[in-house]
Amino acid sequence: MARHEDLRGQVAIVTGASSGVGWQSALRLAEAGVRLCVTARRQAALERLRVEVLQRGGECLVSDGDVTVAEDVERVVRECVAHYGRVDLLVNAAAVQSYGYFDQLPWEHITRVFDVACFGYFRFARAVLPHFRRQGHGHLLNVQSMLAAGSAPLLSAYASAKHATLGWAQSLELELAGTGIHVSNVMVPSVSTPMFDHAPTMLGWRPVPVPPTYDVDLVARAVVRLAKRPGRTSVPAFLQGRLMLWLNGLAPSVGKAVLSRFGVQMQTTDMPLDRPEGNLFIPVEEGVGPRGSVPPTPAWKRFTATLGLAALTGGVVGGAVLGARGLLRAAR
Ligand SMILES: NC(=O)c1ccc[n+]([C@@H]2O[C@H](COP(=O)([O-])OP(=O)(O)OC[C@H]3O[C@@H](n4cnc5c(N)ncnc54)[C@H](OP(=O)(O)O)[C@@H]3O)[C@@H](O)[C@H]2O)c1
């Protein structure tokens, strides 16, 4: 596995950098000495990020654009290479989601979610790959979601786009084996970014992430670790991460039972909200910077929930074992 413990002087393009994971990852990468080209649609927000990066002693080129417009994507990569002479790392983070029951989501919401959260990743990868191949090295780092390995009600378009993006990244990794070009993924749990302050909703209520919610820096630090040791899939959270994946393998019925019973309730509040389009097609002012209005879940609550989940799974697994024993006895 390639290691780049010292990232100083490397050049990274970070998409979705005007808020959330992209913003915080850009800051962390800059602290590690990476020279940045940051992109999203909101230029004023990117300029604010640039000021923060410069204050921390970093270098930052702003190149705004829309990931659904191929010419924008190609221009961003061209400007980055013209400015720095190279590009070593692409952090794909731009995404949108739309809350609603599948049959009530407008069709254009479904296709737009795919166009941004899935095809936007493809477009940027296709634009940097010729440079990576010419250089003989490069790193495609994709900000994925725990939903790429799972599911949630009200987010069918987003979850399926994330499944597709993970499948694409894993296939690409096989194609690029031995070329010096690496593909990494970070499986992001619910994080307290502005995503929930500008996502469209068909529900008429303010949406919130599936708890527990983590601080965005958990993901940004994972991005830097992957930049240093590419070619891996990182699952930075424990409860809504490694434990959840393990439990889904062991007792998939537990997660399914919880999400089908409480998944809608978990993601909605009783605060009325009329935001049918949010930032889906046109960028909005709300939600600039790394953190949003939903605070992270306190650590003690995460700990209590972990214990509860372990007890529930123990009960289900224990019940299944006892049931199987009973069946065997009856069969004898
Ligand atoms: N927050 C979570 O709980 C969570 C959970 C799992 C995975 N993730 C993943 O983390 C990544 C970042 O999400 P986030 O939480 O940081 O959300 P966010 O704060 O809403 O950031 C999304 C970014 O994408 C940009 N964007 C949206 N549409 C675009 C377009 N058409 N062209 C270019 N840029 C566009 C937005 O900027 P502009 O509006 O300025 O274009 C913004 O910078 C996404 O891949 C998301 O799926 C987040």
**CATH label of the domain that carries residue 295:** 3.40.50.720
- Give the pLDDT confidence score for residue 307 in this predicted structure: 84
Q: How far apart are CA 278 and CA 6, in angstroms?
A: 40
Is residue 3, in this structure, part of any structural domain at all? no
- Look-up of token digits 């029951």: 101
Q: Is the pLDDT of residue 286 over 90?
A: yes
Closest ligand 1 atom to residue 116 Cα is 31
Least confident piece of the model among 81-90, 105-114, 241-250, 306-315: 306-315
Q: How far apart are CA 192 and CA 294, in angstroms?
A: 6
Least confident piece of the model among 94-108, 219-233, 302-316: 302-316
Among 13, 15, 18, 21, which is best to mutate for testing ligand 1, by the most ligand atoms less than 8 A from CB?
Answer: 21
Distance 38 CA to ligand 1 centre (A): 13
- Look-up of token digits 């399926």: 160
Distance 193 CA to ligand 1 centre (A): 9
Among 188, 218, 223, which is best to mutate for testing ligand 1, by the most ligand atoms less than 8 A from CB?
Answer: 188
Is residue 19, in this structure, part of any structural domain at all? yes
Q: For ligand 1, atom 39, name the residue with the nearest CA.
A: 283
Please report, rounded to a whole number, the percentage of residues in the chain having pLDDT higher than 70: 93
Is residue 6, in this structure, part of any structural domain at all? no
Are 196 and 208 contacting, i.e. CB atoms less than 8 angstroms apart? yes
Is residue 38, in this structure, part of any structural domain at all? yes
Is residue 116, in this structure, part of any structural domain at all? yes
Catalytic positions, written as ranges: 158
Residue 304 belongs to domain spanning: 11-327
- Give the pLDDT confidence score for residue 308 in this predicted structure: 80
Distance 69 CA to ligand 1 centre (A): 16
Distance 95 CA to ligand 1 centre (A): 4
Distance 245 CA to ligand 1 centre (A): 23
Per-residue pLDDT band at 331 (split at 50, 70, 90): very low
Is residue 242, in this structure, part of any structural domain at all? yes
The 10s digit of each residue's pLDDT in 125-176 is: 999 999 999 999 999 999 999 999 999 999 999 999 999 999 999 999 999 9
Is residue 2, in this structure, part of any structural domain at all? no
- Average pLDDT of the segment spanning 240-268: 94
- Give the pLDDT confidence score for residue 310 in this predicted structure: 72
Q: For ligand 1, atom 18, name the residue with the nearest CA.
A: 195
Q: Mean pLDDT for the chain?
A: 94
Q: For ligand 1, atom 46, name the residue with the nearest CA.
A: 95
Count structural domains, the chain: 1
The pair of three-digit structure tokens given for residue 28, joined into one six-digit string: 């962390």
Among 46, 193, 286, 294, which is best to mutate for testing ligand 1, by the most ligand atoms less than 8 A from CB?
Answer: 193
Per-residue pLDDT band at 330 (split at 50, 70, 90): very low
The pair of three-digit structure tokens given for residue 159, joined into one six-digit string: 């979850």
More confident residue, 326 or 275: 275
Is residue 286, in this structure, part of any structural domain at all? yes
Residues with Cβ within 6 A of ligand 1? 16-22, 40-42, 45, 66-68, 93-96, 116-117, 143, 145, 188, 190-191, 193-195, 198, 209, 279, 283, 287
